[in-house]
Amino acid sequence: MPKIKKPRRGALAFYPRKRARRIYPRIKTYPKVEKVKLLAFAGYKAGCLHVIAIDNRKDSPTFGQEISLPATILDCPPLKVLGIRAYEKSLKGMKVFTEAWSQNLPKDLERKVKAKPSEQNLEKIEKNLDKLAEIRLIVCTQPRLSGIGKKKPEIFEIGIGGEKIEEKYNFAKSLLGKEIKINEVFREGEIVDVIGVTKGKGTAGPVKRFGVKIQTRKAHQKRRHVGSLGQERPGKVRWTVPMAGQLGFQTRTELNKRILKIGEGKEVTPKGGIKRYGIIKSNYVLIEGSVPGSKKRLIMLRSAVRPGKYKFLPIEIKKVVI
pLDDT in tens, 9-26: 776 778 888 899 999 999
In the prediction, which pLDDT does 205 show? 93
For residue 38, what pLDDT is reported? 97
Residue 1: pLDDT band with limits 50, 70, 90: low
pLDDT one-digit tens code per residue, 148-183: 888 999 999 999 999 999 999 999 999 999 999 999
Instruction: Supply the pLDDT for residue 222.
Output: 85
Task: Spell out the alpha helix ranges (H) of the chain.
Answer: 119-127, 165-175, 206-210
Predicted TM-score (pTM) of this structure: 0.91
Q: Is a pLDDT exceeding 90 seen at residue 63?
A: yes
Average pLDDT value for residue range 298-306: 96
Catalogue all structural domains in the chain, each as residue range(s) with its CATH number.
Answer: 42-78+181-209+246-322 (2.40.30.10), 79-180 (3.30.1430.10)
Average pLDDT of the chain is 92
CA distance 307 to 188: 16
Question: Sign of the C-alpha dihedral, residues 157, 160, 164, 168?
Answer: negative
Per-residue pLDDT tens digits for 186-241: 999 999 999 999 999 999 999 999 889 999 998 887 899 988 888 898 889 988 89
- What pLDDT digit, counting tens, does each position of 100-124 carry? 999 888 888 888 888 777 888 999 9
- Look at residues 186, 196, 188, 197 and name the one whose alpha carbon lies nearest to residue 303: 186
Q: Cα(124)–Cα(129) distance, rounded to whole angstroms?
A: 9
d(CA 204, CA 208): 6
Q: How far is CA 186 from CA 13, 286, 298, 301, in A?
A: 31, 12, 17, 9
Query: SS in 3 state form for 105-121?
Result: CCHHHCCCCCCCCCHHH
Reported as a single tens digit per residue, the pLDDT across 81-100 is 999 999 999 998 899 999 99
Please give the pLDDT value at position 322.
Answer: 83
